[in-house]
Amino acid sequence: MEHSTYFKALFVCVLLGLYNLYAYSSPGSQPAAPHGASHDWQTQFVSRLTSSNKPFYEFSGVLEQSPGDKRQHKLIKLPNGIVALCTQDADATEAAAALSVNVGSLAESSDLLGMAHFLEHMLFMGSGKYPDENNYTKYIANNMGTYNAYTADFETTYFFSVANPAFEGALDRLSRFFIDPLLNPSSIDREVHAVDSEYKGNLQTEGWRINELGHHLSNPSHPYSQFSIGNLETLQDAAKLLGVGLHEKVVQFYQQYYSADIMKLAVAGNHSVAQLADWVVEKFSEVPSQGNTKPELPGHPLGSAQLGQVVHMQSLANINILLVEFALPDIRSLYQQDPTLYLAKLAG
């Protein structure tokens, strides 16, 4: 419905160059290591045992740290491949954790769009150890904490903050997302409607609309062009048309892609780094390892047909924006120099 506060505006998007696929790579497209870096940095990890004699590996090299950073850090690697950074901040009034899985919406098949986001929702719905659907969220809320998660093109990240004394319990509950999630069929209908609700809410969000336009204008044969958030049509209705169960497909996606080898974890609190490392090893060593499960993408999402375009977009608010985008080649190997920062400063 159109209201008097509805205004029109113009967006101009100029798409130039090549797109930066920084997380997934096509065969043979791995970037070179940065100057001074080693391809076998894993060799700098040495064997250790926790206080309960569980094995892990500790980074024995030098962690670069700002002179103003007075916190203590320990980088560890679990036998299943999870790499974790443990940080002690003696002045912290709360503790926090974030786990990122290097798989996101670009791993989805074109016939069930939004599956990665849907799985993100389903993992909150209880585990074998904590079967109550609301156990995780109630525990964190009852301990002055917050929680959330997001699904992006290349990764899905789960995070929380909580009062320091409750950190171990919260960390244990988070770990079960990746060890024994229930993924109950009884949760399917409610959570697919929750995803659909997010989609409908984003329709009124200008930034999301601009982002989706960028996807839409990319190479239609590339996964980047696909609709990613999901809704009832692309999940529930699509599964019915395919003659498959949505529960079966979300379990399949989880089992295919969620591997310890593509997970990174960061934890921080006022606990010692030794205590934090013990908790990480104790709680996350059971996460199954399947090797590198990141999908390979078919080249760049912007070909010659997608470059040099001028696009006019009608906004929902009384704003006028000129957006000029320069899509770049893969610059991961230049992360130490960060040339895009220089370009941004020179451009004003």
Residues with active-site annotation: 120
CB 103 within 8 A of CB 255: no
Round to whole Å and give the CA distance between 335 and 233. Answer: 40
**Cα 73 to Cα 129: distance, rounded to the nearest angstrom:** 30
- CA pair distance 139, 253, nearest whole angstrom: 28
The H-or-E segment that residue 186 falls in is: none
C-alpha 186: how far from its chain's center? 26
Of 103, 59, 53, give the one whose Cα is nearest residue 85. 59
Strands of the sheet with 321-327, listed across from one edge: 310-313, 11-17, 321-327
* CA distance linking residue 149 with residue 157, whole number of Å: 5
Closest CA to 295 of 329, 330, 259: 259
Tokens encoding 340: 């895009």
The residues, ordered by sequence, that sit 6+ positions from 49 with a Cβ below 8 Å of its Cβ are 55, 56
User: How far apart are the C-alpha atoms of 338 and 341, rounded to whole Å?
Assistant: 6
Q: Print burial letters for 96-114: b (CB count within 10 Å at least 16), e (below 16).
A: bbbbbbbbbbbbbeeebbb
Place of tokens 């903050």: 161
- Do residues 199 and 282 lie in contact, with contact meaning Cβ atoms separated by under 8 Å? no
* Chain centre to alpha carbon of residue 168: 23
